[in-house]
Structure 1
Amino acid sequence: MPRIYIYSPSGAVRDRAALRRGVRRLQALGHEVQVDEAALASHQRFAGDDATRLAAIARAAASGADVALITRGGYGLTRLLPALPYEALARAAQQGTRFVGLSDFTALQMALLAQTGAITWAGPTLCADFGCPGEPDEIMQACFGDLLSGEGEGTGWRLPAPRPAKSAQLLAPQPAPVPGKLHVQDALLWGGNLSTLCALAGTPWLPSIQGGVLFLEDVGEHPYRIERMLCQLLHAGVLDAQQAVLLGSFSAYKPVPHDRGFNLNEAVHWLRAQTRTPILSGLPMGHVPTKVLLPVGARVELLLEGRDAWLLWGHMDGHSHPHGHEHACLHCGQA
């Protein structure tokens, strides 16, 4: 029976009913669920003070669970980065614990990757995904089940149909078209929440990745803020150093009359005009119900044929090193 350890390393859990629903649903799926003693702690906006959350992270690392799943994101991990138990986390990952989360969890993932090279997983949180008021998303649950069974070896999705930019005639140079074919091999997969990742720029906690595949997502950020953060990565040389950039979901923002037609599509067109790195959109990852799980820090293969994309990492032997991808789990893709 797979064992799942639930802990709160970031924001305080305000929706206790969602936590209870999530635990019941995981148990109904046949999993043994252990909830950390401080999962419902609260200090200001945080799930306990810094010492409380550091102790919860240490307990998750020592739990020996198959999956250590965060309750929610929010904010709080960035201030803990100098004090994280890196050796314990890396040792736990090597021994088979899959650390899963997204949003603020990106800070821990990037720092752990930079300091130790350990693999973690971008994926669901307990409250928002398993504890949602309605039924949890089937694709998300299938991918989570594949992680526990060791069957998931990749994912596939279909890029959205291209939309021309209204300001295309003003762009100089013209944006590079999305390639109809692309094959990237043996590239390190990294990334996560765009805001959190940008906040680590210039610190020891952001890994320096050359020739990787970078994936990005965010929530509640207007397209001009998304573009501004992408500019930061562009001007810092991060985007040009990658073999591909994958854009996930950028959700829960509101356009305003002042935009005058500026939107996320315009921002992406502009970005494509600034870099030779292929930028592919539509990756099912982010603060949305339908999301896949991605091995942050694993070596991957990326293929694109027309609008059909595949990201393959193969069997994770010991949950730390990828091997062949003969049985890639592509049912987790998005139509």
Structure 2
Amino acid sequence: MIAHRTFELIAPSGYPHDPEAIRRALHRLHAQGHHVEGVHATERRFQRFAGTDGERAAELNHLADPSRKLPDIVLAVRGGYGAVRILHGLDYEGLQRRLTDQPIALVGHSDFTAIQLALLSRAGLKTFGGPMLLGDFGAEELSEFTMQHFWNALTKPTFTVTGSVPQAQAVDVSGMLWGGNLAVLASLVGTPYMPPVEGGILFVEDVNEQPFRIERTLYQLHLAGILERQQALVIGDLSGGKAFEYDNGYDLNAMIEHVRSVIGIPVITGLQFGHIPNLLTLPVGADAHLVSDAHGFKLTVSGYPYLS
């Protein structure tokens, strides 16, 4: 039985392009007895963005207001592009004061990675990589897998996810779980918004990128010294890239094997995270323990804000 929760919608990136999906998502949340605030975030448009930079930053900064009651779940409407444009306008000190150790879940993925990593770096705030309003809650067919893992992650102090893909490397490591969209993450290298994580477990995903583009982005993290400081790299979904005859056998598997040979840390594959219908929810900034062998992997996480 899912408790009735208060959702607050935010749209820090692109505007939602499918009104019918928004209608489905809101109907489903209301039908479950949840209260939804911030619906106006689904209606704003400025160029390709869900409002001006100032409007989108103010939406997040509103969470720092000590006079208002906090929602249970802050849910990103969609990804796209635009979050990086508002990072300099966020009230990190105010958000840190108001949200630290509070039972509140900020959830999203894709372009929302920029917000998540900035909040972790500048305010020490832990958030959740997970479903969004438009593509997940508003999907034509709601994924039971996605919803089950969403509520499990948000309402329990610890949980474990497993993968059945056989692993080439045996791993038993612990560290901070962090990551998100690979392209967005790499774009923050050298900025104040990249968390200086040492000994972490880094998870990444991307969509509609060819293997060589993914490799180039991983090389950026490698050459910047970020990967060598982690305990392991966990690869999520990398689907959508076109195969070309010119690739001549160079596919995702070949790319991953090459990356594994040069970065100096274990590479784990098969994480159900990314632009996929059946999506895990993963806390960014949580404590994690990762074990892998020839039969798959097990990832146990704890130490994140959860809803009682």
* TM-score of the pair, normalised by structure 1: 0.85
- Is 1:55 matched up with 2:44? no
- Is 1:81 matched up with 2:81? no
Give the match's secondary structure for 1:273.
Answer: helix
Alpha-carbon distance between aligned partners in 1 of 2:53 and 2:303, rounded to the nearest angstrom: 36
Give the match's secondary structure for 1:251.
Answer: coil
Give every structure 1 segment of 4 or more consecutive aligned residues whose post-TM-superposition deviation is greater than 4 Å: 60-63
Q: Which residue of 1 aligns with 2:296?
A: 308
* TM-score of the pair, normalised by structure 2: 0.92
Which digits, 9 at most, give the CA deviation of each residue in 1:167-213, with x for residues without a partner? Answer: xxxxxxxxxxx22x32112x011110000011101111101111100
Q: Which runs of 5+ in 2 are unaligned?
A: none
- Is 1:29 matched up with 2:46? no
**Residue 139 of structure 1: how far off its partner (Å):** 1.1
- Is 1:10 matched up with 2:16? no
Alpha-carbon distance between aligned partners in 2 of 1:149 and 1:240, rounded to the nearest angstrom: 33
- Is 1:208 matched up with 2:211? no
Cα 1:29–1:146 shift into 2, 3 Å: farther
Q: Which deviates the most, 24-33 or 67-76?
A: 24-33
- Larger helix percent: 2
One-letter amino acid of the counterpart of residue 306, structure 2: H
One-letter amino acid of the counterpart of residue 138, structure 2: G
Which digits, 9 at most, give the CA deviation of each residue in 1:102-146, with x for residues without a partner? Answer: 01100011111111211000001111011012x211111001122
One-letter amino acid of the counterpart of residue 293, structure 2: E
One-letter amino acid of the counterpart of residue 12, structure 1: Y
**Residue 93 of structure 1: how far off its partner (Å):** 5.0
**Residue 42 of structure 1: how far off its partner (Å):** 0.4
Give the match's secondary structure for 2:194.
Answer: coil
Q: Which runs of 5+ in 1 are unaligned?
A: 163-177, 321-335
- Aligned-residue sequence identity (percent) comes to 39
Alpha-carbon distance between aligned partners in 2 of 1:87 and 1:304, rounded to the nearest angstrom: 38
One-letter amino acid of the counterpart of residue 319, structure 1: Y
Which digits, 9 at most, give the CA deviation of each residue in 1:276-306, with x for residues without a partner? Answer: 2000010000000111111101111111233
Contact 1:150-1:315 within 8 A present in 2 as well:
no
Q: Which residue of 2 aligns with 1:137?
A: 143
Q: Which of 65, 72, 75 pairs up with 1:69? A: 75
One-letter amino acid of the counterpart of residue 84, structure 2: T
Q: Which residue of 1 aligns with 2:110?
A: 103
Give the match's secondary structure for 1:30.
Answer: coil
Q: Which residue of 1 aligns with 2:155?
A: 149
One-letter amino acid of the counterpart of residue 127, structure 1: L
Aligned length: 300
* 1:121-200 map, 5 Å: 121-133=128-140, 135-150=141-156, 153-159=159-165, 161=166, 178-179=168-169, 181-185=170-174, 187-200=175-188
Instruction: Compute the RMSD of aligned alpha carbons.
Output: 1.8
